[in-house]
Amino acid sequence: MLRYLLPLPFEDASFDFVHQRLLMFAVPQLYWQPLVNELARVTGPNGWVELVEVNPFLKNSGPATGRVVDLIVQFSRQRTLDPDIAQHIDPFLRAAGLKHVEMMTREIPVGKWGEQPGVMALRDIVTIVQAMKPLVTVQMQMSSKAFDALVKEMEQEVEQYHTTVTFHIAYGRRK
């Protein structure tokens, strides 16, 4: 059975703060609401639930970066994952009965041009892309060598185009 279908191994109202992040490539669209409902269940009165997801559609991207993103997005949609979920996480909190729901975005530089945060963001993005490589290359019928070359080109492009990635942060309070 899939882990996101199982109840969390905690009693109701066990925590004051529950944080979930970066599961957009792990949780099919159909299971987001039950998952957030479960997060709300284990959150105590006046406690907070926070969701953080990234928008895979990088801003100021070059052609290789756009192609990498397109491959990941196509693969995701074929797996019933919603690559747009980051922009729509706040309604899940409301539907779970949370109050004072707010959503904000933070744009993070990608690459050395963005100093330490940019270097870290690029490393994270490349790590995620490489982790998805075996599945994406098979499903999208692309050679491993061609994929690696595209990723290498993407790493260079982010410097030239000053690419950024947008994080969406939503939170709500349990009454």
Q: Collect contacts of 44-47 with beta carbons under 8 A, ≥24 apart.
A: 44/13, 44/14, 44/15, 44/16, 44/174, 45/13, 45/174, 45/175, 46/16, 46/173, 46/174, 46/175, 47/13, 47/15, 47/16, 47/17, 47/18, 47/173, 47/174
pLDDT of residue 3: 65
pLDDT band at 100 (very low <50, low <70, confident <90, very high): very high
Domain boundaries of the chain, sorted by first residue:
10-173
Sign of CA dihedral 120, 49, 34, 2: positive
| pTM metric for this prediction | 0.91
User: What is the predicted pLDDT for the residue at 5?
Assistant: 72
For helices 115-139 and 144-161, give the axis angle rounded to 10 degrees. 150
Distance of CA 103 to the CA centre of its chain: 15
Mention every residue, 6+ apart, whose C-beta is less than 8 A from residue 14. 42, 43, 44
Identify the pLDDT of residue 6.
85
Dump pLDDT digits (tens) for 111-163.
999 999 999 999 999 999 999 999 999 988 999 999 999 999 999 999 999 99
Please name the fold of domain 10-173: Rossmann fold (3.40.50)
Q: Is the pLDDT of residue 4 over 90?
A: no
